[in-house]
Structure 1
Amino acid sequence: MTANSPLIRHLLAGTAIAIAMSVSLPAYAQEATQVAEPTAEQATTDQATELKPITVTGKGARVATSPLTETVERAEIQERMVTDFQDFSRRIDAGVNFNTQNNSINIRGLQANRVLTTLDGIRVPWLTDPRDSAQGGLNAFDFDSLSQIDITKGADSSRYGSGALGGVVELRTLDPEDLIEPGKTFGAITKATYDSANTSILGNAAVATHFNDTWLLFQGGYKHGNETKNEGDVGGYGTSRTEANPMDFNQGNFLAKIHQYIDGGHRIGLTGEYFNLDEDTDNMRGTTASYEPGSLKSGEEINRRRISASYDFISPDGTDWVDTASLVAYWQKQKLNNTTDGFRLRDGRADIIPGDPLLYGFPTGVYKRDNLLEQTTYGVSGDASKDVQLGGIEHGLRFGGELYGQKTHQYSWGQDNCPDVDWTTVPDWFGPQACRFLHSNASDMPDVDSAFFGIYLEDDIKLLDNRLTLTPGLRFDWYRHSPKSTAAYEDSPNFDEAYLKSSSDSRFSPKLRAAWQATTELELYAQWAQGFRAPSATELYQNYGQPGSYARVGNPNLEAETSNGFEIGAKYDSEDYTVQATVFNNYYRNFIDMVQIAPPGGEFPIAGITGYENLAHVQIYGVEFAGEWRFTDNWRTWGSLAWSHGQDTDTDEYLNSVAPLRAILGLGYAAETWGSDVSLTMAAARNKVSGEGFKAPGYGIVDATVWWEPEQFKGLKLQAGVFNIFDKTYWNAIDVPDGVPEDQTAFYSETGRSFRFSITKKF
């Protein structure tokens, strides 16, 4: 049975209708009952400027039930002065990393599009264009707009679909209910931050109000800064430079929400969001010899917009068809731009004379590029839950699905002084020819229309007086990529009709989890789950290159990645202690990787042909630990540890995306009006790498933060932090590209000693 058979098409249509019915029928089945406003108990916090937990957040069945899911509340994010995922991995969770080279989250050695990131239940894509010039997407939000982060490490196949091989990062933005205290109709919070690491200044504000059952929120932020400093000390132009390139950036976001409560446990919402990050860099390092000094500039811009409508339901008395339900319909457009602007020289070639054919290969004059990758997504996702008793056994049913489409577009615009010639007639005996392979004003891939569908069901079966919980789960995923030829793609010198082949597949992914409540505080669990990832449009259809130079191509015949994941662990939660430990072992089939298809020579003499292929067998295994000890009313200590090992088991090559052993140890004190944290972040040396991977030395760095809420100014909070106190030179192993010469690695070093200061005021 194929994924495009009539049976599958009827299954898709019927399931979509079933999902819609599961979240809409309660509206007609329930008698009118007013949704309760947030209670005083729910709103109480220890500190005046912390935001209270959400009462009705639209999470519905997405409430974390797996012992593999960890929730980080806004209060902890703000208290530890976390402003991005680099801070998150350094001061909260050693098992969550961020690769600044490709702007992607890294969990258990997997990154890019193998870690599923959602924002308010909507997928946020990681994108890369065929030239590797525009990459990213998982940095397209403002941390100050978040209310909480849920992280699931490893594949949980019965809940998440394509892309959740390494894990899932679920981001929740602020709701108006977060800001308004019980008995009030208005709430607001403002914040200003200065960070010396990139000399940035951030301003952020959120305001909310409600009129009876209508709640409104507006949140916005603006940030301006410069390059993030490293520990390099060599300036000037060229590849020997190790200081960071001069850069300035502007970041802005805006979020608007409206919630309407309806009698009977219903809430309808509408959200609009805008985010833009624009970076401009003075490229003083690299191939600057080909350009007039000071002329080579580059730009990176990421832009994300979305509009979404939501429906959430919580049964007031448990007598409805479902206990909880949520549905979100959305439109989202994410755009990446990479620009280059310079004045090219003839590489110092004094032997070139007018009329010499070498002029074709070494142009002079204005050189500009604007590489664009754009993806538009629209769809609907929903889930629901119901607790029932069948045959005297308690069942916790959770079910849901998603149906969404994508449109992917890529284009490279350019301006230069290359002659308009037929390059197949130009002699290729005289070495590198910039004009031969720096083609522009064309698309390096066709436009691609994609469709995805997924549906899941899982059941918590309570046995032995509810001490044993068995959770079987099953998910079905289907996808289809349909490339469309365009005039811009046909203008590409590497155009090939073979890349207009559609790609589709489907997969059932089962899961089985067993959890044993050994005591009221201790839970032991084991899980087996399969995972699935559909190849992306760029992996399938990118086609960049030109005869006489090199080529980087996709593979329309790629198969979807699959995984088998095994985990055992324990979780202990008491009044004074919280400890969790996990051992995992994951096996991957058809692992998609970039490989050398043909060495330099023949039609492609400069760098040969590289492209995507499926690796038959890859394995990643490791251990994770996290814990906190609240040993007095005011003192606590916490720790986090993560270690992974990854290899292609057919070739014994190591995966260079796997970070070395990392650990965090922290000590904190919190009184009524002030508190402080000190943390030590450590990493072991990484010596096992493949090819020209970077062998990162180990390190240990110390950070300290302090906060104060003066009694004389209610709602005011002052925070300060000093990071890398001892000015240690160190590297995040996954940030350093393969093949960097040893004398140039300082360019990729992390920031030395820096400080941060913020002022927050809650109204």
Structure 2
Amino acid sequence: MSIHAPEHPSLRILPILVSLACLTMHGAAQAQPGPQAHVTLPTVVVSGSSQNNLLADDLPLSADVIEGQSLSDQQVHTLRQALQDLPNTAVRSSPARLAVGAGSAAFARDGNMGINIRGLGGNRVLMTVDGIRMPRSYVSRSAMFDREYLSLELFKRIDVIRGPASAQYGGDGMAGVVNFVTHDPMDFLKTAEGGAPKTLGGRVAAGWSEDDHGYFAAGTIAAKASDSLQWMLTATGRHSDALDNMGSNDAPNSNRTRPDPTDLRDGSILGKVVLRPSSTQRHIFTFEHTQKKSDIDLLSSRAPGTPPRPADVLDENAHTQIQRDRLTWDARFGLNTDWADHLRTVVAVQDASSRRIGNSFLRSGVHRVRDNRYDERTWQLGLQADKILRHGEWSHRIVYGFDHARSTITNLYDGKAPLPPESFPLKRFPDTRQTSSGLYVQDESVHGDWTITPGLRIDHFAIDVTSQNLYHPPAPQPGKSLSGTAALPKLGVLYRATPAWSVFGQYATGYRAPDAGQVNDRFEAVALGVNNIIVANPDLKPERSRGVELGVRGRFDRLSVDLVGFANRYSNLIEDARLINKTATQQTFQAVNIARARIHGFELKGGYDWGSIGPGRLHNTFAYGQTRGTDRTADRPLNSITPMQIALGLRYDTAPWSVYADLRHYAAKKDKDIDLVSIGNNKAGTTQFATPSATTLDLGAQWRISKAVRLNLALNNLTNRKYWMWPDVYSQPAGSATIDAYSQPGRNARVSLVADF
């Protein structure tokens, strides 16, 4: 007997969007006709809710913009692929090899699975969609829920800021910010000739990828209903297997290195209504729905050999479903008053849920079930005003505002046959309301060739326990609430030394409150005669950082180059589960603060246009990054630091076709850069698997069959190189017989067809 997750009402807030659309169309009908215009605020990086475009050359910080056209041309379908050519940026993506009743080994200093920027990741990287905060990830000893609430087909751009950014973006922006920007109706209505926009347009796409045997289809329709009203609807779907690897052992037991049989299905819907009732107003109503499901036959969790023990697994499977729904109202007003030129308001509600159901059948006849859930419902409000002032040779653009986010976070663990002394149902941490509020101001001052940008944010967080019901009964102590306030200053300076060269630097601060699970997480289970316990830590302190960044930019007719050096100091970094006590019969883990840590490094990136060669034009790109990190309290390396990577790209474009080649070199992870104490089961002296160096080559081509139709082809890892990514394998022992299970795909092909109309 298996327990299956019930269907979630995937469109439960769609009626709200329809109602809003009807109201906006009615408002448009009432509006006086006038010249088509919309309010465009010049870009200033202040907060997640205010981010619109990143003019990276004018900012005294490290930023990248990844265009959706590039993602489409290279047929990117995972977050790792999207970010793989950015220096000092990585994505952790380990295979699903956890047994239903086993503990998670996903303990490392970066928090948990997600994006890693300059050596830190997990919830320290703020992820937003159109400026709306993504749900947090959560890892407990018996389950982990990551942040894959995304469908890349919905995005026209990904903006990445590296380094401490809490002064601009609030808490959780301590290591960096990644903002995913969805398409607008005008993206499909504008014409290539730059004339009047079409009244109806859209795009359809379909493709296949060999690395996960996946098929996808996506369709968008956009329309201009009147001079003041546009709308758009996008739907996507994908069906695939597990990501392939270079393993060769397909035995149905724990020696297996081939991926477990997996069925993955995901889909998304994006709806937008853009209303311009006058030349000084714009209102955007957005509905976004993303859902992912997976069914895995966990062959790798079964014990090999004979004779079997009664506790050995006979059969095991897992079903996972994650879902995120978002409704946003984004309004911009032209005021031209003494206190503000423009005002922007953002109101959003987001509901995210993750559920994993595992069934385990033991040789003893026991049927073990684990039904684990994590839910996060968030309201977010943003108000931002800006004012341009001039005084003599100085001009100032002052931006100020208020951000507020309130999340209701719950978890539930249920099932059959729990390991003693636990009993189901229970909660690993109590129901929690987590809020953050921030007041900020920034002054972008320009005097001649100098731009000076001071800023300050006052940020307050509160973690409030709202119910103790089912909190790990019997919990030895109730869950604790926590709150705090921080002043977060920043100062950026940019000097345009010549028309081609500019020099910049910034001092920035970072700040992140503990997560609800880190403060109050509890776990206790006896396995193989050893009692494994995670105890709560109500005395956890917020993480803080101070960072300095210095860089130089060159912009020539054909060459663009950026060189940046950075050094960040951290206090009270949170390690999710450190072994604090060990005896022959018991291991005790706890989330703890690392008093002092330091991360430093540099980044080099750019491109060169070789000009016209034959019928086309040749262009190449380059990126190189290196980072070092140390726990200065214990004088140990930080395991979350990714080895150096070099990316070289070469592209040749003609009118009807293009070809490209991407070469990537991954440096080896050195033993001296691995902390042997904090990793895995915290066994001092354990030798860990250190990834060897590797070089890969990808080739691709695009044939533009017509103005509106293009065919994309790609052949990845052309040399069929076996290699591993460090974020996937730390905690794996050297000499492991199953290390190939964590390797990357071998040679694989992709093909897609895209048509605009």
* TM-score of Structure 1 vs Structure 2, range by shorter chain: 0.7 to 0.9
SS of residue paired to 2:299: coil
Tell me the matched-pair count.
668
2:637 is matched with which residue: 654, 660, 663?
654
Are 2:538 and 1:556 equivalent residues in the alignment? yes
Are 2:719 and 1:709 equivalent residues in the alignment? no
Q: Which residue of 2 aligns with 1:25?
A: none
Q: 1:263: how far off?
A: 1.3
Q: 1:96: how far off?
A: 2.2
Find the aligned partners of 1:444 and 1:319 in 2 and give their Cα distance. Answer: 52
Find the aligned partners of 1:385 and 1:749 in 2 and give their Cα distance. Answer: 50
Change (3 A) 1:449 1:293: closer
Are 2:208 and 1:198 equivalent residues in the alignment? no
Q: Which residue of 2 aligns with 1:108?
A: 118
Q: Which residue of 2 aligns with 1:738?
A: 731
2:360 is matched with which residue: 331, 336, 342?
342
Change (3 A) 1:524 1:532: same
Q: Which residue of 2 aligns with 1:427?
A: none
Q: Which residue of 1 aligns with 2:516?
A: 537
Match runs of 1:35-114 below 5 Å: 35-36=36-37, 59=51, 65-66=58-59, 67-90=61-84, 92-101=85-94, 102-114=112-124
Find the aligned partners of 1:589 and 1:626 in 2 and give their Cα distance. Answer: 30
Find the aligned partners of 1:574 and 1:330 in 2 and give their Cα distance. Answer: 42
Find the aligned partners of 2:208 and 2:88 in 1 and give their Cα distance. Answer: 27
Cα contact 1:60–1:326 (8 A) shared by 2: no
Cα contact 2:125–2:177 (8 A) shared by 1: yes
Are 2:591 and 1:582 equivalent residues in the alignment? no
Q: Which residue of 2 aligns with 1:405?
A: 406
Are 2:488 and 1:478 equivalent residues in the alignment? no
Cα contact 1:89–1:95 (8 A) shared by 2: no
Q: What is the aligned-residue RMSD (CA, Å)?
A: 2.3
Find the aligned partners of 2:263 and 2:52 in 1 and give their Cα distance. Answer: 41
Find the aligned partners of 1:245 and 1:97 in 2 and give their Cα distance. Answer: 24
1:446 is matched with which residue: 416, 424, 430?
430
Moved more, 176-185 or 557-566: 176-185
Find the aligned partners of 2:483 and 2:233 in 1 and give their Cα distance. Answer: 41
Q: 1:398: how far off?
A: 2.1
Q: Deviations over 1:498-557 (max 9, x none)?
A: 42x210000001111111101112110111111110111111111121587221133111
Amino acid at match of 1:382: L
2:444 is matched with which residue: 457, 460, 464?
460
Moved more, 323-332 or 561-570: 323-332
In the superposition, the TM-score normalised over structure 2's length comes to: 0.84
SS of residue paired to 2:259: coil
1:297 is matched with which residue: 296, 304, 317?
317
Q: Which residue of 1 aligns with 2:9?
A: none
Amino acid at match of 1:652: D
Match runs of 1:200-349 below 5 Å: 200-212=214-226, 213-288=228-303, 295-313=315-333, 321-346=339-364
Are 2:110 and 1:127 equivalent residues in the alignment? no
Change (3 A) 1:339 1:288: farther
Q: 1:597: how far off?
A: 4.7
Structure 2 unmatched runs, 5+: 1-31, 41-48, 95-111, 191-195, 305-309, 677-685
Amino acid at match of 1:704: L
Change (3 A) 1:59 1:116: closer
Q: Which residue of 2 aligns with 1:148?
A: 157
Q: 1:215: how far off?
A: 0.7
Q: Which residue of 1 aligns with 2:756?
A: 762
Q: 1:288: how far off?
A: 4.0
Find the aligned partners of 1:651 and 1:150 in 2 and give their Cα distance. Answer: 35
SS of residue paired to 2:167: coil
Q: Deviations over 1:456-502 (max 9, x none)?
A: 11112222x2x11111111111011111334322xx34513342x21
Q: 1:59: how far off?
A: 4.7
Are 2:674 and 1:689 equivalent residues in the alignment? yes
Q: 1:132: how far off?
A: 5.0
Find the aligned partners of 1:447 and 1:588 in 2 and give their Cα distance. Answer: 30
Are 2:477 and 1:497 equivalent residues in the alignment? yes
SS of residue paired to 1:746: helix
Q: Deviations over 1:112-157 (max 9, x none)?
A: 10000110110002321433513211x2111110011111100134
Find the aligned partners of 2:248 and 2:329 in 1 and give their Cα distance. Answer: 51
SS of residue paired to 2:641: coil
Change (3 A) 1:321 1:191: farther
Find the aligned partners of 1:758 and 1:410 in 2 and give their Cα distance. Answer: 40
Match runs of 1:412-423 below 5 Å: 412-416=413-417
Match runs of 1:16-31 below 5 Å: none
Find the aligned partners of 1:60 and 1:319 in 2 and give their Cα distance. Answer: 23
Amino acid at match of 1:339: I
Q: Deviations over 1:65-109 (max 9, x none)?
A: 52422222222222232222211233x323321101354111111
Change (3 A) 1:61 1:187: closer
Q: 1:220: how far off?
A: 0.8
Q: Deviations over 1:263-312 (max 9, x none)?
A: 13211121111111111111111354667766201123221111111102
Amino acid at match of 2:356: N
Moved more, 306-315 or 191-200: 306-315
Cα contact 1:134–1:373 (8 A) shared by 2: no
Structure 1 unmatched runs, 5+: 1-30, 40-56, 347-363, 419-434
Q: 1:63: how far off?
A: 6.3
Find the aligned partners of 1:240 and 1:676 in 2 and give their Cα distance. Answer: 41
Q: Which residue of 1 aligns with 2:655?
A: 672
Amino acid at match of 2:396: H
Find the aligned partners of 2:723 and 2:485 in 1 and give their Cα distance. Answer: 44
Cα contact 2:658–2:702 (8 A) shared by 1: yes
Q: 1:437: how far off?
A: 5.0
Q: Which residue of 1 aligns with 2:595?
A: 616
2:578 is matched with which residue: 581, 593, 596?
596
SS of residue paired to 1:239: coil
SS of residue paired to 2:420: helix
Cα contact 1:34–1:265 (8 A) shared by 2: no
Q: Which residue of 1 aligns with 2:46?
A: none
In the superposition, the TM-score normalised over structure 1's length comes to: 0.84
Find the aligned partners of 1:694 and 1:230 in 2 and give their Cα distance. Answer: 17
Find the aligned partners of 2:742 and 2:277 in 1 and give their Cα distance. Answer: 54
Find the aligned partners of 1:729 and 1:579 in 2 and give their Cα distance. Answer: 32
Amino acid at match of 1:174: H
Moved more, 388-397 or 522-531: 388-397
SS of residue paired to 1:497: coil
Change (3 A) 1:218 1:559: same
Find the aligned partners of 2:162 and 2:547 in 1 and give their Cα distance. Answer: 11
Cα contact 1:493–1:546 (8 A) shared by 2: no
Cα contact 1:628–1:638 (8 A) shared by 2: yes
Find the aligned partners of 2:474 and 2:663 in 1 and give their Cα distance. Answer: 51
Are 2:513 and 1:513 equivalent residues in the alignment? no
Change (3 A) 1:569 1:652: same
Q: Which residue of 1 aligns with 2:8?
A: none
Change (3 A) 1:293 1:410: closer
SS of residue paired to 2:160: strand
